[in-house]
Structure 1
Amino acid sequence: MKASKKLLTVIIALILISSMSVGCSQSKTSNASETNNTGYPKKPIEMTVGFAAGGQADIVTRIVAEAASKYLPNKESIVVSNKTGASGSIQLAELFQQNPDGYKLGSVTTGNLIIQPNMGNTPYKSNDFAPISLLNSAPNLLVVKSDAPWKTFDEWLDYVKKNPSKFTYGTAGTGDTKHVAMETLNVTYEVKTKHVGFDGSAESITALLGGHIMGAIVGVQEAKPHTDAGKMRVLANLGSSKTDVYKDAPFLKEKGYPGFDTWTGILAPKNTPKDIVQALDKAFEKALQQPEVLAQFKKIGTEPTYAGPEEFKKIIKASTKTSAEIMKKSGLSEKQ
Structure 2
Amino acid sequence: MGKGKIKTLLLAFVLMLLFVLTACGGSTESTSSGESAEAPPSETTNEAEEEEVTVDFPTKPINLNVGFAAGGATDVLARAVVELAQDYIPNNENIVVVNQPGAGGVVAAAEVMNHNPDGYNILMSPSGPLTLTPHFGDTPYKDLEGLTPIINITTDSYFLVVNGTSEIESYEDLLEYGKENHVDFGTAGARSVSSVAMRSVALETGVDFVEVPFEGTAPARAALLGDHIDAVHNVESDVLPYLESGELNGLLYFGFERHPDFPDIPSVTEYGIPAFTNSFFVAGPRDMPEEVRNIIHDIFKQAMEDPAADETFKKIMATPDYRDSDGLAELLQGKFEVNKEVVETSGLADE
Q: TM-score, normalised by structure 1?
A: 0.85
Match 1:285 to one of 298, 301, 305: 301
In 2, the alpha carbon distance for the partners of 1:241 and 1:176 equals: 22
SS in 2 for 1:288: helix
RMSD after superposition: 1.6
In 2, the alpha carbon distance for the partners of 1:153 and 1:291 equals: 40
Match 1:55 to one of 54, 57, 72: 72
Larger deviation, residues 224-233 vs 263-272: 224-233
Deviations 1:220-239 (A, max 9, x none): 22112222222110001013
Question: Deviation of residue 246 (structure 1)?
Answer: 2.1
Match 1:311 to one of 324, 327, 339: 327
Q: What letter is aligned with 1:217? A: H
Question: Deviation of residue 37 (structure 1)?
Answer: 4.7
Spell out the pairing of 1:111-190 with structure 2 (5 A cutoff).
111-124=128-141, 125-160=143-178, 162-164=179-181, 166-190=182-206
1:246 is aligned to 2:262 = yes
Question: Residue in 1 aligned with 2:7?
Answer: none
In 1, the alpha carbon distance for the partners of 2:131 and 2:218 equals: 21
Question: Deviation of residue 250 (structure 1)?
Answer: 0.3
Question: Deviation of residue 91 (structure 1)?
Answer: 0.9
Question: Residue in 2 aligned with 1:203?
Answer: 219
Spell out the pairing of 1:216-295 with structure 2 (5 A cutoff).
216-295=232-311
SS in 1 for 2:330: helix
- Consecutive unaligned residues in structure 1, runs of 5 or more: 1-35
Structure 1 segments of 4+ aligned residues over 3 angstroms from their partners: none
In 1, the alpha carbon distance for the partners of 2:188 and 2:331 equals: 22
Question: Residue in 2 aligned with 1:72?
Answer: 89
Q: What letter is aligned with 1:248? A: D
- Consecutive unaligned residues in structure 2, runs of 5 or more: 1-52
Aligned 8 A contact 1:110 1:176 in 2: no
Q: What letter is aligned with 1:127? A: E
In 2, the alpha carbon distance for the partners of 1:191 and 1:91 equals: 33
Deviations 1:186-239 (A, max 9, x none): 122232211100000100000000010010011222112222222110001013
Q: Percent identity?
A: 31
In 2, the alpha carbon distance for the partners of 1:133 and 1:198 equals: 27
Question: Deviation of residue 316 (structure 1)?
Answer: 0.6
In 1, the alpha carbon distance for the partners of 2:169 and 2:340 equals: 33
Q: How many residues align?
A: 298
In 1, the alpha carbon distance for the partners of 2:343 and 2:302 equals: 36
In 2, the alpha carbon distance for the partners of 1:119 and 1:332 equals: 8
Question: Deviation of residue 301 (structure 1)?
Answer: 2.2
Question: Deviation of residue 314 (structure 1)?
Answer: 0.1
Q: What letter is aligned with 1:139? A: S
Q: What letter is aligned with 1:190? A: G
Aligned 8 A contact 1:47 1:105 in 2: yes
Aligned 8 A contact 1:46 1:80 in 2: yes
Question: Deviation of residue 241 (structure 1)?
Answer: 4.7
SS in 1 for 2:148: strand
Question: Residue in 2 aligned with 1:89?
Answer: 106
